[in-house]
Structure 1
Amino acid sequence: MSKIVICHRVVRHLRIGNYFHCIFATFDTMEGKISLISKKNKRLVLSFTVLQFLVIIVRIWSIATTRADLLESIFGIAIASLTVIGFVVRCDPFPDDVQVQFLNYIFSSKDEVSDRGATRYLNLLALFFDVVEFTYYSISTVLGLLALFLPCQPGLTSSIICSSEGVLLSGLIFKFLYLFFFPALEFLIYMQVAVGTAYNFVTVLLTGVTFLWLECAFFIKCYQKELADLADYRKIQIFEKILNSCTREGIFLKFVILIPSLQVLMSLVAIKMFHSGHDLLAVMFCWMYVIILGSTLLTFSAAAKVYGTSTKWIQGCKGGERKKYARKMHRSLIPLRLHFGNNFVEILTPLVVQEYCVRQTVTFLLLTK
């Protein structure tokens, strides 16, 4: 039942992504599975990617040319960083259909989750999907309102209609841009950033890592009851190889590099906003920090669980077989590993990542004091 709930969340997120033309996958209601979008819609996604690139140039230009204090500059850099990260994650003119096939395999397999802990984790994952979806609309609306009430803030696209002294230019055309165009543009761009990033980092990566861990835990449970043999572990290894091929050099590597850095930046800006008295903006960045923290903890913890669970099982079952071929097969077993580049996630990786984030946040706070 929990797997069905996750599937419904994924389908809903795919439809949001198709509505805003920011992902290459869609849900085919006729066949009941995920598929790549049509060539026409693919051109729309690429066109909006180009628009996002132009917005990045405008954001960077406004930060570099506008006279602003340190707090305004940090705020502008945070807004620009969100767009840059979304662009880096989404910028893939040649989408990989293996990711789509991988998701279809996950949701078409039997729902074998019977453990209470696994069920609670899937319910937590479904709740996280809902929280991420709420973040799409809430943060996009806030950025649209910022373009309306703080149009000259560096980092916002509306700052290009302001003078170097931070004064809004007058005129009918500038008024139209200020009241309608730029707030709508900020809303659209962040929606594309959030949905495109969440599709790669949450729908593909986090969901894939979670179900690999659950498959491993279910196999060990069946093996202990003599309902499975070592050949079934080979099937899970194939599952692991496919997931690594989908994420190792792309999604997971980007996640490891970008998301902890963004977590450091969001925590820094939130603290600075609280100290300066901008409580509403501080709450917005705190909320984004919580979402990013949740994604890092869930992803790295699930990946570490995959490695830790498989390692413990291999160490515990070796030497228990009497037949020669079974002992040789035991010696050939290797733990399941989620790779990013040339590295892989170990048991202590989640703690190492959070220690890095805390250390960097403290360092930046001391430098900007």
Structure 2
Amino acid sequence: MATTDITKLTKVIFRYGEYYNCLPFRWGRNLGKIILIEARRLNILTFLVLFHFIVSIGRIISVRVHSPNIVGQLEAAIGALVYSTVLLIRFDIPVDHVQARLIDLTISSSYGPIKKTKLQLGMKFLFYAGGLSGAIISTLLAITTIFLPCQPILLSSLLCSDGVAFLWVECRTFIKEFNAGFARIVGYRKFQVFEKLLNSCIRSMIFLVTALIIPAFQILIFFAAIKLHHSGDPNSFEVFVFGWCYVVCLVFTVIVFTSTAQINNLSKTWILRCKWGNVKKLERMVYKSLKPLRLEFGNNFVEAVTPLVNQNGNENENRNGNRNGNRNGNRNGNRNGNRNENRNGNRNENENDNGNENGNGNEKHNQKSNPFSDWLS
């Protein structure tokens, strides 16, 4: 592409970057080259990158929380993938100045008159099509967020009425809002209906696999990281990868089990408070018949102590695995050492016995071969 075309497109890109404060560089109009932005704007850019990271985490969570059908899950996954990819591209902390110097070198280089080719036209088309698509997609997302906020591709779908997050938030709101008579009981019955529906969706497969496979994978990855760290030639990068995977599994397990345990704990607290806060016998009997909300996996359910029991079990398994590994190693080492010592000792005894027998045999042979040995002695 000709230098003038590159310069024009570069100026447009950095003008947009300076306006939206999304690039660490800007075009210096007086100097005619790319320069670093001010420290204040650089701090704002760092804050926006961290905010982008939080939004990407929310996008990843939305894939798990929502979408009862495969199409909704696919939409949420596409949104999470796009946000995560853009975050990885933007995550340039500290700022790399070589990129700006490379663009300056490309602009300032002169190769004489260059004929325009189809490749240059294609690059121009991609640039302008990307800018137009960005504006259209941003407008459509804003309109969809206002009129259809529960679409899985949107981050606002986390606030819609499906999933564990909604049950937890609405349970707390229900405790604060319902304050009169049997209206609270009717509202609680609605929560029980929603609980049955949610359990029918996640009990047999989704929550069951999460409750069984993720803690097991957490134990395995922690054991592998410890063994790799204490190996003869540890690889720091592999140890870091295994440790990071363990931290991610730990955070995921704690969040899932803690949120579901809070649902059970909040419902128990509300039933006890309402049961003993009413004087009428009929209302107390009705509250006594209510069961706490609980999310089930298989034939079990999550209560207040389940997260602690889960993490305690993982810790015990890791400790037992390390202890058994060390014990087996010491036992095998001692066993091999004793075998070698016994084998060497027996070999030395056999050599001594053979030597003594050979000596006695030689003496007897000498006496028989010399009949005058007794007379001479």
User: TM class by shorter-chain length?
Assistant: 0.3 to 0.5
Normalised by the length of structure 1, the TM-score is 0.45
Normalised by the length of structure 2, the TM-score is 0.44
Rg larger in 1 or in 2? 2
The higher relative CO (CA closer than 8 Å, separation ≥ 6) is in 1
